[in-house]
Structure 1
Amino acid sequence: MTKLKFKLLFLIGSLSIAPTSFALTLDQAVDAALVHESQLRLSRLNVAQSQAMLQQAKQQYGLNVNLVGQYGHEKVVTPQGVYVPTEGSRNFHGAELQFDYPLYTFGRYPTGVNAAKMQLAAREQAVSGQSSDTILQTVKVYCNVLKQQALLDLKIQMRANLKQSLYEAERRFKVGMITRADLAQVQAQYAQGIADVVSVQSNLKIAQTQFNLVTGQVAQDLKQIANLPTIPANVETALRQLEQHPLLRQAQYEQQAAQQQYRLSKLELKPMLMLNSRAGVQDQLETLNSKSENYSVSAQLKIPLFDDGLNRANRLKALTDVDLAKQKAQTLKQNLQQDIQTSYAQLEAIRQNRLAIQEAVQSATVALQYIKKEQEVGTKTTFDELTAEQTLFDMQTQQVLNDQDEVVLVYQLLDQMGGLNAVNNSK
């Protein structure tokens, strides 16, 4: 009996525990997206690759030490009257320790290192640019969920109002206050209201799925965005901050890397001064006491004379890369300038319309209240009431769209200016 009571108490207790739902803020969603985004992880791997390439460039002209073993057969033929070396065939084996060190590369070493450094800097800016894009995409999907949820709430409220209107219309139709056509009109509006709710529910599910794809989180309870980041007071100030955009800086670093690579291709025709040192031992297998040792130190100057056009092709390719990188930077800057001007103009228009939309919502609310009162005394029709309700709903919908579009445009403008990462890091 005691065990049975214990099981019942445990069951009741477990049923009373409801799943806990935690509200998610925009900052938390951004942090989750920065961890979840696979493209961002790929960009970080590219940085690691460039770091390895920089290390390669630094070690390319270092000291090389090799141990060379030999085993072979040689035949010595001497002219008549020459006794050294002794003519004949012999087998031999030996070992030699080789040291090679570049004394002077005529600029190859620092130029190669600088090219690798510029490439590394470009990929670091690519990470920053990808991070900024991830933040913006998170803001967009976050606001889209909020927008669809707000629209769904409006549609549900509209459906409830239409249901009440249908109830009142049926009551008035029974007492002969309205015609069959008026009743059919209300029924059609109510059916449309039901369909609208289903449509917006579908849009909300799509928005929640997109949010999950970007952040890896479930969009159950997203908090409203209370405070927006500060943007420049005018578009001219916004344009002046463009030079710090990570993608623009990436393009500039890539241009510098291409210029260093072009310089390196020209340096291929320069001499190379090497210090060579050898220490070895050799033994002839057929001769007793034939073991010998040799030591040498020499300076080697290597001067390229002919490469069948290879260097010319390398220089042409490197010069084309320079022109391409330069054009890419110019085009990107022009596009960003146009985007900033467009976003700033759209944001100003939205903020200017905010007060007008608020007043329109208030006016439509008051108008609907008076129309309902006038309908009760017969001076307004059911169609007038439905029209007023639709007008109010349209204004409320526009207000929702306006609010969420403002948030997206603020973050979009910061992204186009190159300041979105700084805003996120300051939080």
Structure 2
Amino acid sequence: MVFGEIRKGAARFARVAAVITTAAVITGTTARAETLADALVSAYNHSGLLDQNRALLRAADEDVAAAGAALEPVLRWTASITESIGRGQGSSALGALNSDSLVASGQLIADVLLYDFGATAFGIEVAKETVLATRQSLIGIEQQVLQRGVQAYMGVIEAAEFVTLRQNNVRVLTQELSAARNRFEVGEVTRTDVALAEAQLAQARSGLAGAQGNYAIAVEEYRNVIGRAPGRLSPPPSLPRIGSDIEAAKAVAVRNHPNMRAVQYQVSAAELAIKAAEASKRPTISAQGILSLSENLDSSNFNRGASIGLNAGGTLYAGGARSSGVRKAQAQRDAQRGNLHVVRHNIQQNVGIAYAQLSSARATIDASDRQITAARIAFRGVREEATLGARTTLDVLDAEQALLDAEAARISAQSLIYNAAYAVLASTGQLTARELRLPVQQYDVNEYYNLVKNSPTSQSKQGKQLDRVLQKLQK
């Protein structure tokens, strides 16, 4: 593959172990070095963002159950107890008339939808397409979590490398300042040379303080994303295998990226929503059965009855609200189609950017390796010539700065190349726990859906299974 030649660059990261081991005194040590895979497993298990979106997926599953329940019979009851008090005056023979009574009544009513021209069925299909879209969105969130995990891991290593580099720079410039002062004492250089060395050392110490601050920031990011402070980190592994054909990668991304597939399901749901809105304008046919009981508690009078019938009905005029609903659904469909176009081009762009960053980092590494070699030779030579009086202190400081710049560029490029490589995987939809073969308990998107899709009641066998699944998820 195109990145075989840069794997040797990973060895350079081995020297960061020293500074990370030192930093572990502050952040805590572990029995063995933590690998990138270990960090990604922790990021996956620690992520509240994944938990949040899994719950949102379960909410979308419940929409399927709620939509499907409209096709099930609805059984409801009513009950009442009524006391009537009446007084009246009759003829002289009858005297006063009393009409007190206490009546209890109740009804058991069953309704079932028989036919609504597919409005409810279309609504169920809309909910199912939304579930599929939400599943893809969950995969997209998973990619974000893992990509941020890679960035946090590489961020700590890069920051530690910069601390080491700045520490070495301070050490060298301290030696240069000491040498400049000694030469000033014997009259070989002027006070200006000493001041230049002092200024350069002060700048180096400022750079070290900034590098240490950036390391502390990287540690906090690592703690947030991974769930704990970094201990002793292993050098990053070999780069993932990535093809060199950018156009082929873009084609794969358009087919497989979860964001693309989510929008495709959203377009399908919007199409079905139009059909549901059109069907809702038509009549509905339902059946109703009623059992009724009425009993006078003050006497032996009672009444029992039953009825069954078909009901049909619809709206003749609603001020154009139903037609507006259809037009709204069509507009939402058009919006989703437009979003599909945007997402497709964004995905292709992200693939191209990731490959460009990867190529740039590789070129920077190759150039900086040569630059470091030349700058190190130049620095040593200038320093030797300065001891002989052939070079000034400023020449030595400039040579040291050139070497520092080359080494800093190498560190940044090495971190960038890993972030870009994993960004390529994310841009093509391949940065998932399954694709990376991480040893994690992956969330089963079908388990909850299969239990709720048929709208089980809490007292049914399926409902009790659902309660056990929810208890497990809460743990």
TM-score computed with the length of structure 2 as normaliser: 0.77
Matched ranges for 1:373-384 at <5 A: 373-384=384-395
1:312 aligned partner: 323
Counting matched residue pairs gives 394
* Alpha-carbon distance between aligned partners in 2 of 1:62 and 1:55, rounded to the nearest angstrom: 11
Aligned residues of 1:90 and 1:285 also touching (Cα < 8 A): no
2:256 aligned with 1:247: no
* Alpha-carbon distance between aligned partners in 2 of 1:248 and 1:391, rounded to the nearest angstrom: 46
Matched ranges for 1:229-240 at <5 A: 229-240=240-251
2:400 aligned with 1:389: yes
2:307 aligned partner: 296
Deviation at 1:73, TM superposition (A): 9.6
2:34 aligned with 1:24: yes
2:125 aligned partner: 114
Deviation at 1:230, TM superposition (A): 1.6
- Structure 1 runs of 4+ aligned residues shifted over 6 Å read none
1:101 corresponds, among 103, 112, 120, to 112
Cα deviation 1:38-76 (Å, max 9, x = unaligned): 3222111101111111111111221122233355699xx
Cα deviation 1:284-320 (Å, max 9, x = unaligned): 678x775443333322233432333331232232222
The alignment's C-alpha RMSD in Å is 2.4
2:422 aligned with 1:411: yes
1:211 aligned partner: 222
Question: Secondary structure of 1:370's match?
Answer: helix
Deviation at 1:34, TM superposition (A): 2.2
* Alpha-carbon distance between aligned partners in 2 of 1:70 and 1:372, rounded to the nearest angstrom: 104
Cα deviation 1:199-226 (Å, max 9, x = unaligned): 2111211221222222221024322212
Deviation at 1:409, TM superposition (A): 1.0
* Alpha-carbon distance between aligned partners in 2 of 1:405 and 1:44, rounded to the nearest angstrom: 31
Q: Percent identity?
A: 24
2:285 aligned with 1:273: yes
* Alpha-carbon distance between aligned partners in 2 of 1:144 and 1:59, rounded to the nearest angstrom: 51
Question: Secondary structure of 1:420's match?
Answer: coil
Match for 1:278: what amino acid?
I
* Alpha-carbon distance between aligned partners in 1 of 2:76 and 2:387, rounded to the nearest angstrom: 104
Aligned residues of 2:357 and 2:416 also touching (Cα < 8 A): no
2:51 aligned partner: 41
Question: Secondary structure of 2:292's match?
Answer: strand
Question: Secondary structure of 2:304's match?
Answer: strand
Aligned residues of 1:155 and 1:197 also touching (Cα < 8 A): yes
1:10 aligned partner: none
Structure 1: stretches of 5+ with no match in the other structure: 1-18, 75-88
After superposition, the Cα gap between the structure-2 partners of 1:303 and 1:179, relative to the gap in structure 1 and judged at 3 Å, is closer
2:347 aligned with 1:329: no
Computing the radius of gyration over CA atoms, which structure comes out larger, 1 or 2?
A: 1
Aligned residues of 2:41 and 2:438 also touching (Cα < 8 A): no
Greater alpha carbon shift after TM alignment, 252-261 vs 303-312: 303-312
Aligned residues of 1:90 and 1:284 also touching (Cα < 8 A): no
* Alpha-carbon distance between aligned partners in 1 of 2:182 and 2:140, rounded to the nearest angstrom: 63
Aligned residues of 1:229 and 1:423 also touching (Cα < 8 A): no
* Alpha-carbon distance between aligned partners in 1 of 2:216 and 2:296, rounded to the nearest angstrom: 85
1:257 aligned partner: 269
Aligned residues of 1:51 and 1:120 also touching (Cα < 8 A): yes
Question: Secondary structure of 2:62's match?
Answer: helix
Match for 2:233: what amino acid?
L
2:68 aligned with 1:58: yes
Question: Secondary structure of 2:77's match?
Answer: strand
Match for 1:355: what amino acid?
D
Deviation at 1:154, TM superposition (A): 0.7
Cα deviation 1:150-169 (Å, max 9, x = unaligned): 11111110111111111222
* Alpha-carbon distance between aligned partners in 1 of 2:325 and 2:177, rounded to the nearest angstrom: 80
1:159 corresponds, among 165, 170, 175, to 170
Aligned residues of 1:29 and 1:217 also touching (Cα < 8 A): no
Match for 1:387: what amino acid?
D
Aligned residues of 1:211 and 1:217 also touching (Cα < 8 A): yes
* Alpha-carbon distance between aligned partners in 1 of 2:379 and 2:104, rounded to the nearest angstrom: 108
Match for 2:39: what amino acid?
A
* Alpha-carbon distance between aligned partners in 2 of 1:426 and 1:237, rounded to the nearest angstrom: 26
Match for 1:161: what amino acid?
V
* Alpha-carbon distance between aligned partners in 2 of 1:63 and 1:241, rounded to the nearest angstrom: 47
Cα deviation 1:229-264 (Å, max 9, x = unaligned): 122221101101112111222222222222222211
